[in-house]
Amino acid sequence: MALRWDVVVVGGGHAGAEAAWASARLGCRTLLLTRDSGTIGRMSCNPAVGGLAKGQAVREIDALGGLMGWAADRTGIQFKLLNASRGPAVQGLRCQSDKGAYAAEVAGRLASQPNLEVREGVVAGFVVTAGTFSGLRLEGGEVLGCAAAVVTSGTFLRGLIHVGAERQSAGRWGEAPCAFLSEALSGLGLRVGRMKTGTPPRVAAKSVEWRNTVRSRGDANPRAFSFRSRSEIFPRLRQVDCFLTHTTERTHEIIRRNLDRSPLYSGVIRGRGPRYCPSIEDKVVRFAERDRHQVFLEPEGLETDWTYLSGLSMSLPAEVQEEVVRSIPGLEQAEILRPAYAVEYDVVFPEQLDDTLGVRCLPGLFLAGQVNGTSGYEEAAGQGLVAGVNAAIVAKGRESAPFTLGRHEAYIGVMIDDLVTLGAEEPYRLLSSRAEHRLLLGGDTAYARLTAKGLAYGLLSEGEAAPILEREERQARARGAVGGSRVLPDRATLVELAALGVGLSEETTAAGILRRPDAPASIRGWLESRLPGPLGSLDDEEWERLVNEVRYEGFLRRELEVIERVRRAGDRPVPSRFQYAGIPGLSAEAAEKLERHRPRTLGQAGRIAGVTPAAVTLLLARLVSGERRASS
């Protein structure tokens, strides 16, 4: 069969867009195949990008030359740094997006990318020749020959939408599902399961009593996701406010009275839903002691009246939804433009993939996004980029190593390792708590961690990488300067520091001054006057990163030492009678599985489903302390 394409990407959502973009940028003849080209880049649920852990992933995608952060910057209508008062490891950049503009931006970028063609069509099966993947079969019978493919089918595999007792076969509202692809994946021997997600109602902005809600503003000085935005006007679009309200006891009473009409509670829906983004029915039942829950009113764009009710996902009948919505302050007269709904869909359990997101039983086939049991645009985009690069490597028969990301390198690496090692029995969501090395994975360090890798694999050109690498050099010079600059307690220095509220009794360095808990924000000007060359060129974000690196230096060094110890410890034997119960910090689930499997080495322990790298770190610490006691 003639191979017209190097790589075919199935699906034009967030995973598909990044996969196609990456493959084409690596020089592969790439086809993006979608049922409807008008839905490329569509935000199916919330009109936002980023958030806690997710914002770091978007920065990582950008550091590797991906699309999402750039598109978000160009189409964002509110930017906010979440957890701004806390440490950089748990902060997260988020932007409210203009949904229509975001999709148009992604589609436009893909349309202008060399080596990439977009075509409409629906895949029904796979072509396997002598045990090797060789193409895709469309519903009409046409065969597309290709060396590799990435399936990013989202919620469309046997998608079924629920609104109360009403059901429709659809992957999204009004969009037909994939009828045969799920069966084709099962036919490869893959274990397929069922999951569920949902989306809240949309209401008309003109019907909202805004005076009964609380205004939620964006940051006065917003920061961008993408380094590429530094050379453009940012923000490009008019910035707007979101608004906050809450459910009431009446809301909860309406929901409790109608639980038997919710397919989630009547037993109609069998797919597992997302634990960390529950429906309002779930919240009312699981958190019965709470008398209210937050509801954010988020505009879906500058040119639309549609408003998204974040926090109000449900699958109750439409008439009950109207009661629920109108029981909430500000929404007493709200006009529902589209009801909330739940959608069930098939997924491939991801432990059947390797860390390239390739299907183990059929090399050349890759899966990315919600088909792997994840939830969220950012999770999908990160997987799409990794799968797209690896599909290109396979298609070109390159000698380079597969493109993978370690848990210590990226949140994307944490996610993929979790998926392929632990699997997913419910929709997976990125969380800061999943990353045991999160101190190293702040959004401000994404370029230092990943740009060189993107350049090495060809995702970034030298011209694109140059300003990023120059910034890293500038950061390194500043770090060296504050570490090496002596500050003596002479009369002039003491007077200057006293004016800033900082005392000094002995010689230190500029870094030592920055570490002082009493160092005010104004210390920046004083340090810049002493070190104008290396510090004077830093922008606000670069300055914040410098301060963080100085203040957390000891923690970061210890974190790197832990990573190196764990790397070397893979072959360390675990005593046959080792007691797992009672290790501080080790979860009961991990202890139970370790007791059952009795691994011979730490490496084996880390490969047991349910035993996280954090658990292995605790196990290593206990082994080391035991050896020290035995030798003393």
The three-state DSSP-derived secondary structure of 290-330 is CCCCEEEEEECCCCCCEEEEECCCCCCCHHHHHHHHHCCCC
Same domain, 305 and 211: yes
Please tell me the predicted confidence (pLDDT) of residue 593.
82
Instruction: Answer yes or no: is pLDDT of 344 > 90.
Output: yes
Residue at 151 is within a domain: no
Instruction: Say whether both 336 and 228 belong to one domain.
Output: yes
Reported as half-sphere exposure (CB side, CA atoms, 13 A), residue 7 has a value of: 36
286-304 mean pLDDT: 96
Asked which of 298, 316, 344 is the last residue of a domain, the reply is: 344
For 193, the enclosing helix (H) or strand (E) is strand 192-199
Task: Single out the residue in 286, 321, 344 at which a domain terminates.
Answer: 344
Q: Give the lowest-confidence range in 66-70, 160-164, 610-614.
A: 610-614
Angle between helices 54-63 and 68-75 (to 10 degrees): 110
Say if residue 585 is in the same domain as residue 546. Answer: no
Q: Is residue 42 classed exposed, middle or buried when 0-12, 13-18 and 19+ CB atoms within 10 A define those classes?
A: buried
* Co-location of 523 and 620 in the same domain: no
Tokens 């069998």 belong to which residue? Answer: 270
pTM attached to this predicted model: 0.90
Pair (546, 604) in one structural domain: no
State the Cα–Cα distance between residues 479 and 476, nearest whole angstrom.
Answer: 5
Query: Is 304 inside a domain boundary?
Result: yes
How far from chain centre, in Å, is Cα 43?
Answer: 15
Could you list the residue range(s) of the whole structural domain that residue 229 is in? 202-344
Ranking 359-363, 418-422, 497-501, 561-565 by mean pLDDT, the lowest is 561-565
Of 125, 62, 155, 512, the residue nearest 369 (C-alpha): 155
- What is the distance between the alpha carbons of residues 114 and 29, in angstroms, rounded to a whole number? 9
Number of domains in the chain: 3
- Do 213 and 335 fall into the same domain? yes
What stretches of 242-292 show up as alpha helix (H) in DSSP?
Answer: 249-257, 263-266, 280-286
Q: Residue 332: inside a domain, yes or no?
A: yes
Q: How many residues appear in the chain?
A: 632
Average pLDDT over residues 461-478: 94
Stretch 298-316: mean pLDDT, rounded?
Answer: 97
Give domain status of residue 506, yes or no. yes
Q: Say whether both 547 and 561 belong to one domain.
A: no
Residues 516 and 572 in one domain: no
Do 510 and 567 lie in one domain? The reply is: no
605 and 481 inside one domain: no
Q: Mind listing the pLDDT tens digit for each residue in 81-136? A: 999 988 888 899 999 999 999 999 999 999 999 999 999 999 999 999 888 899 99
* Chosen domain end from 521, 551, 581: 551
pLDDT at residue 285 above 60?
yes
Residues 208 and 226 grouped into a single domain: yes
